[in-house]
Chain A
Amino acid sequence: MSTAVLTINKGLSGGLNLRQKTILLISFMSLLLLTIVICSLFINERSLSTDFDSKNLAPSLKHPFGTDWMGRDMFIRTIEGLGLSIMIGAFASLISTLISVILGLFSSVGKIADSFVSWLVDLFLSIPHLLLIILISIGFGGGATGVIIGVALTHWPSLTRVVRAEIKQLKTQEYVHISRNFGKSRWWIATKHILPHLIPKFILGTILMFPHAILHEASITFLGFGLSPHEPAIGIILSESMKYLSAGYWWLAFFPGLSLLIVILAFDMIGENLGKLMNPKKAHD
């Protein structure tokens, strides 16, 4: 089996160089994720209708992930849940990136601003992440909005740290000094010398933030916060499956969780390979 896969791999990518292979991998993973999101948008209510004739069925060809206690197809529920999770993750990472852009740039204004930003980062990292999300989501009155805001507001510290360090390092570069001596304005230096270096960091940071945001969103819904029990979120599917564990309905927990794992892995792979493409020093690793 594994040798067969290997030969297929060789046959497919034998003629390609590392760069092309990386691009191929990224496109494949992106396509997978995109398909999940698009499918989840087009799933209509009918395919999720309850059918008590076929409840608690083990996985089969007709229902690849089995069915739940109301006879709903778990495969369709999982896809829909993943779509929801990816969209919440996308929103949260975008907001968090925006915050870290603002704070990162703000930290370069002066010494006081810089210590303020690093203090804020330390403050957010000093409370366990999950507890912080719970606290913020309660502050916003719980519910779906509470969870989304909680996830969105807590993922920026690590990227802010990276951005802050990067700006600090760039400012000591010789070409920046020379530019300043030539009388270029601060704005000119910021946009022409510093921003171009930061943009790839932001893109990469957003993508690498995705898996964290999705995992936290799933965890927090699993714990029972936020989304209503009728929403087919992955966390809710899994917390529902807990009731049926002792009955031996393993597929209710196994497949949705595995799909979530694959989605997370896909994001990690996209981020990592994109990082390789963008960073010429690491291209040969």
Chain B
Amino acid sequence: MKQRKLGYFIGKKILKLLCLLIVVCIASFWIVEQSPIDPVRAYIGEMSIQPEQKAKLEEYWGVNTPSHEKFMNWAGNILKGDFGISLIYRMPVTDVMKERFTASIILMASSWLMSGILGFILGIIAGMKNGTLVDKVIKTYCYILIAAPTFWLALIMLLVFSVYLGWFPIGLGIPIGTVADDVTFLDRIHHLILPTITLSLLGVASIAMFTREKLIEVMSSDYILFAKARGERGLGLIMRHGIRNVALPAITLQFLGFSELFGGAVLVEQVFSYPGIGQAAVAAGLRSDVPLLLGIVIVSTIFVFFGNLVADIIYEFIDPRIKQQEMTT
């Protein structure tokens, strides 16, 4: 019964993802197609070339083929798993994305975890001490963080920890002047710490505020009053009745934040010149590398969709309250 429901749910979601991807492909292709930017110019850069070479390139990039035909070619290749050749990296888009996305996933996953845990703890503390000085400090911290420009915070972190204290390198994913094979695991970690901390500091605010509100709401409920009447108090009460009720919504919210996580990663990667997918997206945008940009749009759409899917699954299948509701109806 439950298996069938889950299967049906997943099937529906996969169908939805396919529809979404088709629309995103068409829409983003159409938007880029409207652009007055010349792909041949973007490919050759500032070099000067002969007219016949230019004509050859134009034919190669299909400048003069009609849009719908171009789209069919592009979409057909994507179905075969071929996203085309990146103009700026001069290699297949899939290779660029694979390399960049792995680097980004490490950064995003670690800061996602850190911000989730830290934010949840801060939210619980603030909610527990509702109205006290501790609560006000945490609240102010969150308000300021929400208003802080991501890239500015990254700059300040860079200033303090790299320039003044010299604890961390100023940028890049690996030390300058080393061959890729010589890079040790520790080197990578060393270059990862500061971007991760910056990105997680930003994610803390929303989750902490949410957890705080939710905990206050839970703490004013009848069953808490009853638990208090039974003599439970302090941390035990929060652990047994508060956290269990707050944790699932907070985790769901954290999964829904994938879109913002991606945006934050773009900015942080740019400041720390961390070679991730965000930096590639900016480079592709600035230098009109259309195949790469479209590829990144598609991949990031799947990424965001995945986050929402997990949130939905938690909501539908893991939350015991929803299960109970279904049993009774």
Chain A residues with CB under 8 Å of B286's CB are: 223-225
Which segment of A12-20, A69-77, A123-131, A197-205 sits at the interface?
A123-131
Give Cα distance in the complex from A225 to B287, angstroms. Answer: 10
Chain B residues with CB under 8 Å of A215's CB are: 149
Give Cα distance in the complex from A246 to B37, angstroms. Answer: 35
Most chain B CB inside 10 Å of its own CB: which residue of A128, A211, A242, A253: A128
CB <8 Å contact, B304 and A128: yes
A138-B147 contact given A219-B267, A245-B159, A260-B152, CB 8 Å threshold? no
CB <8 Å contact, B300 and A128: yes
Give Cα distance in the complex from A215 to B300, angstroms. Answer: 21
CB <8 Å contact, B267 and A130: yes
Chain B residues with CB under 8 Å of A250's CB are: 159, 163
Measured between C-beta atoms, what is the minimum distance from B292 to chain A in Å?
Answer: 12
CB <8 Å contact, A219 and B24: no
CB <8 Å contact, B285 and A138: yes
CB <8 Å contact, A139 and B282: no
CB <8 Å contact, B282 and A138: no
Chain A residues with CB under 8 Å of B305's CB are: 126
Chain A residues with CB under 8 Å of B301's CB are: 126-127
CB <8 Å contact, B149 and A260: yes
CB <8 Å contact, B288 and A257: no
Q: Which of B156, B170, B281, B304 is in CB contact (< 8 Å) with A254?
A: B156
Measured between C-beta atoms, what is the minimum distance from A147 to chain B in Å?
Answer: 11
What residue in chain B is nearest A139 (Cβ atoms)? Answer: B31
Q: Is B155 an interface residue (CB 8 A)?
A: yes
Q: CB-defined interface of A228-270 with B at 8 Å, one 1/0 digit per residue?
A: 0000000000100110011010100110011011001100100
| A-facing residues in B1-33 (Cβ within 8 Å) | 20, 23-24, 27-28, 31-32
Q: CB-defined interface of B243-280 with A at 8 Å, one 1/0 digit per residue?
A: 00000000000000001101100110011000000000
Q: CB-defined interface of B53-96 with A at 8 Å, one 1/0 digit per residue?
A: 00000000000000000000000000000000000000000000
CB <8 Å contact, A219 and B151: yes
CB <8 Å contact, B147 and A245: no
CB <8 Å contact, B35 and A253: no
Measured between C-beta atoms, what is the minimum distance from A56 to chain B in Å?
Answer: 15
Q: Is A134 an interface residue (CB 8 A)?
A: yes
Give Cα distance in the complex from A241 to B31, angstroms. Answer: 33
Chain B residues with CB under 8 Å of A140's CB are: 34-35
Interface of A is mostly: helix
Q: Which of B32, B146, B164, B296 is in CB contact (< 8 Å) with A138?
A: B32
Chain A residues with CB under 8 Å of B170's CB are: 245-246
Q: Is B148 an interface residue (CB 8 A)?
A: yes
Give Cα distance in the complex from A81 to B241, angstroms. Answer: 50
Q: Is A136 an interface residue (CB 8 A)?
A: yes
CB <8 Å contact, B304 and A253: no
Q: Is A213 an interface residue (CB 8 A)?
A: no
Give Cα distance in the complex from A215 to B297, angstroms. Answer: 21
Q: Which of B152, B282, B297 is in CB contact (< 8 Å) with A127?
A: B297
A245-B155 contact given A142-B37, A211-B147, A219-B149, CB 8 Å threshold? yes
CB <8 Å contact, B156 and A257: yes
Using a Cβ cutoff of 8 Å, how many contacts connect chains A and B?
138
CB <8 Å contact, B259 and A125: yes
CB <8 Å contact, B293 and A265: no
Chain A residues with CB under 8 Å of B288's CB are: 138
Give Cα distance in the complex from A268 to B148, angstroms. Answer: 12
CB <8 Å contact, B159 and A254: yes
Q: Is A79 an interface residue (CB 8 A)?
A: no
Q: Is B143 an interface residue (CB 8 A)?
A: yes
Q: Is B144 an interface residue (CB 8 A)?
A: yes
CB <8 Å contact, B147 and A261: yes
Q: Is A64 an interface residue (CB 8 A)?
A: no
CB <8 Å contact, B31 and A222: no
Chain B residues with CB under 8 Å of A218's CB are: 149, 151
Chain B residues with CB under 8 Å of A122's CB are: 20
| B-facing residues in A120-177 (Cβ within 8 Å) | 122-123, 125-131, 134-142
Chain B residues with CB under 8 Å of A254's CB are: 156, 159
What residue in chain A is nearest B145 (Cβ atoms)? Answer: A261
Chain B residues with CB under 8 Å of A138's CB are: 31-32, 35, 37, 285, 288, 293
Give Cα distance in the complex from A248 to B164, angstroms. Answer: 8
CB <8 Å contact, A135 and B28: yes
Give Cα distance in the complex from A80 to B164, angstroms. Answer: 30
CB <8 Å contact, A139 and B34: yes
Q: Is B36 an interface residue (CB 8 A)?
A: yes
Chain A residues with CB under 8 Å of B151's CB are: 218-219, 222, 238
CB <8 Å contact, A136 and B262: no
Q: Is B122 an interface residue (CB 8 A)?
A: no
CB <8 Å contact, A131 and B144: no
**4 more A-B residue pairs beyond the given contacts A134-B281, A257-B149, with a C-beta to C-beta distance below 8 A:** A131-B266, A241-B155, A242-B155, A260-B149
15 A-B contact pairs sorted by A residue (CB < 8 Å) = A123-B20, A123-B23, A127-B28, A127-B297, A128-B266, A130-B267, A131-B262, A131-B296, A135-B32, A138-B288, A139-B31, A222-B149, A225-B285, A245-B155, A253-B159
Cβ-closest 3 pairs across A and B: A257-B152, A139-B31, A264-B147
